[in-house]
């Protein structure tokens, strides 16, 4: 398990209690929403806050978490199972993305083609945000529950969220034929790029690798390799494997950086979320979240009835983990790979809706498993 496995959404569960910590999250999101009406928060400064959070604070947080992780070797069999399930999750999400609605209003507002909307759906349908799941499992007092969740996270989810999703985003990005990405809030960049997907129904319907232009796969691989977050994870797990001790003063510093990172993440949610959704936007978000939920239910049922697990406890915990909301890093991935401001805002808003739904489902399942 992690050294601080019960750490809450903003890293303050021990000091404030879990309920107060969740209320603080709401306050931080509210502050972010209020900041949108402050003239100081220009587009450039908002982008700078996002850049610092995801390129500096978040990598340092991940590095520490993996450096101090304590692996439970009795649950090591969960590592390959996690990898297999997350691979299946990717292909399942890709197949379900065929049902992504052709939302003309969303395409018009975002300035992005239908293929990019499909990519947005694929990205939104994968990965687990463990910031809320770890505290839920910890409070349920399930023996070895946290250890099972951490091994599952380490088996594939960490590498998917911090690395492979960058490649998926690059494949579907409107700049897939170009050599550079356009950050958000730069209208005009990417709007006039050739839309090699939009007029080709075969590419729109058949699959992930259908009709990719030359160099697209290399571009996707480069996006994965250049991920600062992935590099931080690799350094952290490398330091752990060579058993290099983390000096106390450095540990304290990185711990504070981690708490600041979580504060900034929820502030950015309020800053970027769009709660004035049109009917078309709302229908599109609900349709994509339904794809994610269907994939989660299929995988959860598969784990319950078909996949061997080390114990019933491990099985129950993994089912709860699969029903987590999507990764918080996704808003940064979308922004950096040219999906446009509108789709970034829909991502943040959709993630908030998903978090509320998933927390409800996870809590109900933990109560059911506890009674059982």
Q: What was the pLDDT predicted at 18?
A: 58
Rg for the chain, CA atoms, rounded: 20
Cβ count near 195 (within 10 Å): 15
Q: Which helix (H) or strand (E) holds 332?
A: helix 330-336
Question: Domains of the chain: which residue ranges?
Answer: 13-371
Choice among 53-67, 108-122, 175-189, 317-331 with the minimum mean pLDDT: 175-189
Mean pLDDT, the chain, whole residue set? 81
Percent of the chain with pLDDT over 90: 34
**Is the pTM here over 0.75, yes or no?**
yes
Between the alpha carbon of residue 98 and those of residues 32, 102, 193, 259, the distances in Å are: 34, 10, 24, 39
Q: What DSSP assignment string belongs to 222-289? A: HHHHT-HHHHHHHHHHHHHHTT----HHHHHHHHHHHHHHHHHHHHHHHHH------HHHHHHHHHHH
Q: Which residue has the tokens 């070895």?
A: 144
Q: Per residue in 45-89, pLDDT tens?
A: 898 999 999 889 988 988 988 888 777 778 889 999 999 999 999
125-130 mean pLDDT: 90
Residue 298: per-residue pLDDT: 96
Q: What is the mean pLDDT of residues 322-345?
A: 91
The reported pLDDT for the residue numbered 92 is 94
Q: Which of 112-126, 186-200, 238-252, 354-368 has the lowest mean pLDDT?
A: 186-200
142's tokens: 């399930």
pLDDT given at position 288: 96
The length of the chain in residues reads 372
Residue 3 — pLDDT band, cuts 50, 70, 90?
very low
pLDDT digits (tens, 9 = 90+) for 5-20: 445 444 444 445 556 7
* pLDDT exceeds cutoff 50 at 151: yes
Residue with tokens 């406890």: 313
Q: Residue 227: which pLDDT band, with cuts at 50, 70 and 90?
A: confident
Q: Does domain 13-371 have CATH number 1.20.1530?
A: yes
Contact status, residue 118 vs residue 106, Cβ threshold 8 Å: no
- Which residues, including other chains, have CB under 8 Å from residue 332's CB and lie 6 or more apart? 50, 53, 54
Tell me if 171 sits within 8 A of 223, measured CB to CB. Answer: no
Burial of residue 293 (CB within 10 Å: 0-12, 13-18, 19+) is: middle
How many whole angstroms separate alpha carbon 244 and alpha carbon 239? 6
What pLDDT does residue 214 have? 54
Of 22-31, 167-176, 191-200, 345-354, which gets the smallest average pLDDT? 191-200
Q: Coil, strand or helix: which one is 189?
A: coil
CA separation for the pair 266, 260 (Å, rounded): 10
């Amino acid at each position: 398990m992690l050294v601080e496995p019960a750490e809450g959404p903003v890293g303050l569960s021990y000091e404030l209690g879990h309920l107060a910590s969740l209320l603080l999250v709401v306050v931080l999101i509210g502050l972010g929403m209020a900041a949108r009406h402050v003239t100081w928060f220009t587009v450039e400064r908002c982008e700078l806050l996002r850049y610092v959070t995801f390129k500096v604070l978040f990598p340092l947080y991940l590095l520490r978490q993996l450096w101090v992780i304590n692996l439970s070797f009795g649950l090591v069999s969960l590592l390959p199972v996690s990898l297999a399930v997350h691979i299946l999750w990717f292909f399942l999400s890709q197949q379900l993305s065929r049902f992504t609605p052709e939302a003309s209003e969303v395409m018009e507002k975002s300035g992005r083609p239908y293929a990019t909307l499909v990519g947005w759906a694929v990205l939104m349908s994968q990965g687990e945000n463990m910031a809320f799941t770890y505290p839920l499992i910890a409070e349920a007092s399930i023996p070895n529950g946290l250890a099972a969740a951490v091994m599952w996270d380490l088996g594939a989810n960490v590498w998917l969220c911090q690395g492979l999703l960058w490649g998926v985003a690059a494949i579907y990005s409107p700049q897939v034929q170009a050599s550079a990405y356009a950050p958000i809030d730069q209208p005009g960049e990417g709007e006039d790029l050739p839309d090699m997907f939009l007029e080709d129904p075969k590419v729109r319907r058949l699959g992930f690798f259908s009709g990719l232009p030359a160099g697209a796969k290399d571009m996707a691989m480069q996006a994965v390799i250049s991920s600062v977050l992935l590099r931080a994870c690799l350094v952290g797990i490398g330091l752990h494997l060579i058993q290099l001790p983390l000096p106390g003063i450095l540990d304290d510093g990185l711990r504070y950086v981690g708490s600041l990172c979580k504060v900034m993440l929820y502030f950015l949610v309020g800053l970027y979320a769009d709660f004035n959704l049109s009917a078309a936007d709302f229908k599109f978000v609900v349709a994509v979240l339904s794809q994610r939920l269907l994939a989660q239910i299929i995988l959860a049922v598969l784990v319950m009835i078909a996949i061997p697990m080390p114990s019933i406890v491990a099985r129950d915990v993994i089912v709860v983990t699969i029903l987590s909301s999507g990764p918080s890093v996704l808003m940064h991935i979308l922004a950096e790979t040219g999906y446009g401001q509108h789709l970034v805002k829909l991502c943040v808003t959709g993630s908030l809706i998903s978090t509320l739904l998933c927390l409800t489902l996870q809590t109900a399942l933990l109560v059911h498993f506890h009674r059982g």
